[in-house]
Chains A and B, each alone.
Chain A
Amino acid sequence: MNDMTPERDARVANLKGMGCSRKRVEDARFTQGKGNYVDDISLPGMLTGDFVRSPYAHARIKSINTEAAMALEGVVAVLTAQDLAPLSLHWMPTLAGDKQMVLADGKVLFQGQEVAFVVAKDRYIAADAIELVEVEYEELPVIVDPIKSLQSDVVLREDLDPKAPGAHGPRKHHNHIFTWEVGDEAGTNAVIDDADVVAEASMYYHRTHPCPLEPCGCVASMDKVNGKLTLWGTFQAPHVVRTVASLLSGIEEHNIRVVSPDIGGGFGNKVGVYPGYVCSIVASIVTGVPVKWVEDRMDNLMTTAFARDYWMTGKISATKEGKITGLHCHVTADHGAFDACADPTKFPAGFMNICTGSYDIPIAYLGVDGVYTNKAPGGVSYRCSFRVTEAVYFIERMIEVLAIEMDMDPAELRRINFIKKEQFPYQSALGWEYDSGDYHTAWDKALKAVDYDGLRKEQAERVEAFKRGETRTLMGIGLSFFTEIVGAGPVKNCDILGMGMFDSCEIRIHPTGSAIARLGTISQGQGHATTFAQILASEIGIPADSITIEEGDTDTAPYGLGTYGSRSTPVAGAATAMAGRKIRAKAQMIAAYLLEVHDDDVEFDVDRFVVKGAPERFKTMGEIAYAAYNQAIPGIEPGLEAVSYYDPPNMTYPFGAYVCVMDIDVDTGVTDIRRFYALDDCGTRINPMVIEGQIHGGLTEALAVALGQEIAYDEMGNVKTGTLMDFFLPTAWEVPNYETDHTVTPSPHHPIGAKGVGESPHVGGVPCFSNAVQDAFRPFGNRHTNMPHDHWRIWQTANALGLHH
């Protein structure tokens, strides 16, 4: 059979399967304003819920008087912790094994904390009622610095026994949460003590926030007649929300239906369970009518799931030739008032132990201390797998600092330390098995594409011109090479609240040859309805245009752990391929029966099964689907359906090489990104257009974090960045055009070799932008300055280096 015939090519093209830039099926409704987001849901009699929030970061609550609020016309209920206590719902468990107040129980621990929940006929009445709730506070000392917190006599969490261990082992202090250690500390210290060269750095990866454009929200509707609770909401993990809602409320899980409708971006912000969800459910049960809660932007930035806030200190040692011999990392992790990190249970600092990066480092140690402060809880993975941005930022800065220490070119230092292609699968010193990679090829391609040597020459000339007083701008060349760890994860070591982190796909082929597939994940803009249909099209030979993809309704979709940590393609994508292969196996038997040959005598070819050696004898998938429903085939059940629950054998390890060229005005601190080149290797590519879109978006969020975006507090625990006036979101004006490129190193253990890509650009982008800023000042003695590199801080850097006189 000639595989290259035009006829066959036409059949392949007709499928719109893997590898083609299929246009998105989601776009029809979104471009016409017909998306269905949670705030678009309107039910008869629906009430609005909103919170009375604490103005203080740390205070005792002496009294709450709801009388005046309740007297206001249109107010239906005002809930306080006292009302929730009989239901044991005034506190709730967090994903990190801690517990969190749903409504303030005796004290408040961060500004914006939920104190009372007002339920009213509309949002305006709710806002009025919030003003009428009288709360008497007694201020307590505020701690916003985790290092000071560990030395303070002030007890933040009076509910915890200071002597009792926490969810992750012994606690060293009443404000300490956990210590998590990986690797060999004594051995690492010994190597570092004896090394030719040691570089050290302390860096603060500032607190920021995922800030999706749509805030968090839900609609809870308790149908008292049928005993069924329906909960629509901005949930990145709807099935887990159902299980949690059942465990918390005591309502049997089959009586709860959770629906994630269209979600206006998540980026990690919509993984957690928030007090608004619990209060809406209780309010709907109490009032018997649906209750909607949608936070506003200030609520979102102040209270729901921040990211980062890691104080990291590192030591890296090397031979005099530049070969890295050891790495030591310690983190003081500010978790805020409650430990509500969204990490797999056994990983209290996520996958921070990927901090050896893309380098062959023989020995390493990581220690993380989690600490309570008077700041909002959270610690989600903002556009990254669990704490991977922190890890990659750490190692990519350590490499730069080592290069400074050794007076070496940072590109060359990376090259001589990369894990070599033949070393994969590679066992890292901190316990991971990297599945596949070809770092040298990617690096060489990237450096060649940007003419790296030419850039360095230009930079050197610029420095000379600056010194001669001919220019006031410097040039920075930012490099980063990252290895992500995504696709959590193997059930043997990855779970959320005890639920193994598998994922799922169920496929039904209709009699006329079209299909529906449902997955345990949920798109928040990634385009699952487009790309998962492409995987299936290639696997089962039915055109993607004839396959509907559905996610997010727990009554219809198979159980899955949801979409975050770039896990959809590595896990649910694998389940999709595996379920497709089950369909194909049954289709093969049907085809053989129809063609009156043995099962082994037919083979799959694009969209049909053909008799081996006789391609003119075939049955198309359409014909096979019809036969599955209209013929009694001996030994084969009617119908053509399959389901797969996929437990990945390993994580996947996408990687990439990024280069940023930046001009910096020394007198204003203004940065101008002249060029950004991003090479990504995400294994097998399903839809290049969608991949490129993910990279543009992830890089832009990286630009934001590196160059200005932060959640800042003052000493009193006031949030200084609670609106979009202060919290930096880049506009089209600040964002450059990105050049994208790729290599393809498939994952050896994934059914289609795909690795996931949505978060790579963020993980690799943050250090790349930061390195560009810092590289510009390297010739003047800069070693490390903390992000975010906004204009003011860059000006300060230049000033401190004496460049302003």
Chain B
Amino acid sequence: MTKQILKMTVNGQTEEVLVEPRELLVYVLREKIGMKGPHVGCETSHCGACTVEINGKSVKSCTMFAVQAQGAEITTIEGLGTPDALHVLQTNFKEHHGLQCGFCTPGMITRAHRLLQENPNPTEKEVRFGIAGNICRCTGYQNIVKAILSAAAEINASKEAAQ
């Protein structure tokens, strides 16, 4: 099958890879760009383990062709925080035991990150609705919700302090 050159920005880096039109974005990210944070749990858009941010929106990368991301700005879990300076969502997920097996975690945190851009001060119900596209089989969500609400409060407090 004819391959195409795909150019996109992933976590701030320009990437250029050769792909077939039928290749799914999640596998290109994982296997050609080396971003293994997004996971494949269902291949039908239900579980959300593959969630990434594309041009400011949460997208399930298992049901999008890579070529559809031509020119896109993509953020994966690897683009949120560094080992020396973790994102506040990452620290709160640990603090509140918002993960167990870790398989849903990259998609869940990436989704939560976008959710807090969309709604910086969500209620518990809004968090629950906002992450309903991401399935976790281990935690029962209670501590995930707690972690996201706590992260939101922390972000808001530091914004206020900065003003």
Contact with B along A428-445 (1 / 0, CB 8 A): 000000000000000000
Known contacts A214-B41, A725-B44, A733-B128: A701-B141 contact under CB 8 Å: no
Interface centre among A37, A527, A701, A731 (most CB of B within 10 A): A731
Q: Which of A19-27, A63-71, A334-342, A354-362 contacts B (4 or more CB under 8 A)?
A: A19-27
CA distance A448 to B144 in the complex (A): 29
Contact with B along A185-201 (1 / 0, CB 8 A): 00000000000000000
B94 near A31: Cβ-Cβ < 8 Å: yes
A731 near B132: Cβ-Cβ < 8 Å: yes
A23 near B41: Cβ-Cβ < 8 Å: no
Partner of A732, one of B42, B97, B145: B145
- For A95, what are the chain B residues with a Cβ–Cβ distance below 8 Å? none
B104-163 interface (Cβ within 8 A of A): 104-106, 109, 127-129, 131-145
Known contacts A699-B140, A732-B127: A723-B101 contact under CB 8 Å: no
Partner of A729, one of B20, B135, B142: B135
Interface centre among B23, B47, B78, B136 (most CB of A within 10 A): B136
Residue contacts A-B, CB under 8 angstroms, 16 given: A24-B97, A31-B102, A31-B105, A33-B38, A33-B105, A35-B105, A124-B20, A213-B103, A264-B102, A296-B43, A526-B100, A693-B100, A696-B139, A696-B143, A729-B46, A731-B132
Q: Is A290 an interface residue (CB 8 A)?
A: no
Task: Please tell me the size bucket of the interface on B.
Answer: 35 or more
CA distance A296 to B127 in the complex (A): 29
Partner of A527, one of B35, B42, B100, B135: B100
CB of B52 to closest CB in A, whole Å: 10
Q: Is B57 an interface residue (CB 8 A)?
A: no
B74-118 interface (Cβ within 8 A of A): 76-78, 81, 83, 86, 90, 93-95, 97, 99-106, 109
Q: Is A664 an interface residue (CB 8 A)?
A: no
Q: Is B40 an interface residue (CB 8 A)?
A: yes
A737 near B41: Cβ-Cβ < 8 Å: no
Contact with B along A1-28 (1 / 0, CB 8 A): 0000000000000000000000110111
Partner of B47, one of A27, A693, A724: A724
- For B76, what are the chain A residues with a Cβ–Cβ distance below 8 Å? 33
A343-377 interface (Cβ within 8 A of B): none
CB of A40 to closest CB in B, whole Å: 5
A213 near B137: Cβ-Cβ < 8 Å: yes
- For A297, what are the chain B residues with a Cβ–Cβ distance below 8 Å? 41-44, 47
Q: Is A489 an interface residue (CB 8 A)?
A: no
Contact with B along A522-551 (1 / 0, CB 8 A): 001111000000000000000000000000
Partner of A723, one of B42, B90, B106: B42
Q: Is B7 an interface residue (CB 8 A)?
A: no
Known contacts A262-B102, A738-B140: A733-B129 contact under CB 8 Å: yes
Partner of A724, one of B40, B44, B77, B83: B44
Nearest neighbor of B131 in chain A, beta-carbon distance: A732
Nearest neighbor of B96 in chain A, beta-carbon distance: A689
A213 near B49: Cβ-Cβ < 8 Å: yes
A33 near B35: Cβ-Cβ < 8 Å: yes
Known contacts A696-B143, A732-B141: A30-B46 contact under CB 8 Å: no
Partner of B137, one of A24, A37, A689, A697: A697
- For B35, what are the chain A residues with a Cβ–Cβ distance below 8 Å? 33
CA distance A624 to B37 in the complex (A): 42
CB of A765 to closest CB in B, whole Å: 10
A738 near B142: Cβ-Cβ < 8 Å: yes
Interface centre among A33, A37, A700 (most CB of B within 10 A): A33
CB of A37 to closest CB in B, whole Å: 7
CA distance A37 to B76 in the complex (A): 17
Interface centre among A214, A524, A738 (most CB of B within 10 A): A214
The interface of chain B, by Cβ under 8 A from chain A, is 20, 22-23, 27, 30-31, 35-44, 46-47, 49, 76-78, 81, 83, 86, 90, 93-95, 97, 99-106, 109, 127-129, 131-145
CA distance A693 to B143 in the complex (A): 8
Known contacts A33-B76, A262-B102, A525-B100: A697-B138 contact under CB 8 Å: yes
A26 near B102: Cβ-Cβ < 8 Å: yes
- For B128, what are the chain A residues with a Cβ–Cβ distance below 8 Å? 732-733, 735
- For A31, what are the chain B residues with a Cβ–Cβ distance below 8 Å? 77, 86, 90, 93-94, 99, 102, 105, 109
CB of A236 to closest CB in B, whole Å: 12
Partner of A42, one of B31, B105, B145: B31
* 5 nearest A-B pairs in the assembled complex, by CB-CB distance: A33-B37, A525-B101, A30-B102, A264-B103, A696-B140
Nearest neighbor of B76 in chain A, beta-carbon distance: A33
Interface centre among B46, B95, B145 (most CB of A within 10 A): B46
Interface centre among A27, A31, A731 (most CB of B within 10 A): A31
A32 near B138: Cβ-Cβ < 8 Å: no
Nearest neighbor of A702 in chain B, beta-carbon distance: B140
CA distance A701 to B141 in the complex (A): 11
A27-50 interface (Cβ within 8 A of B): 27-35, 37, 39-40, 42
CB of B67 to closest CB in A, whole Å: 14
CB of A166 to closest CB in B, whole Å: 34
- For B136, what are the chain A residues with a Cβ–Cβ distance below 8 Å? 213, 732
Known contacts A27-B94, A731-B135, A732-B127: A35-B103 contact under CB 8 Å: yes
CA distance A23 to B143 in the complex (A): 13
B138 near A525: Cβ-Cβ < 8 Å: yes
Contact with B along A712-748 (1 / 0, CB 8 A): 0000000000011100010111010110000000000
A277-296 interface (Cβ within 8 A of B): 296
CA distance A214 to B37 in the complex (A): 13
Partner of A689, one of B42, B97, B142: B97
Interface centre among A211, A212, A213, A526 (most CB of B within 10 A): A213
Q: Is A267 an interface residue (CB 8 A)?
A: yes
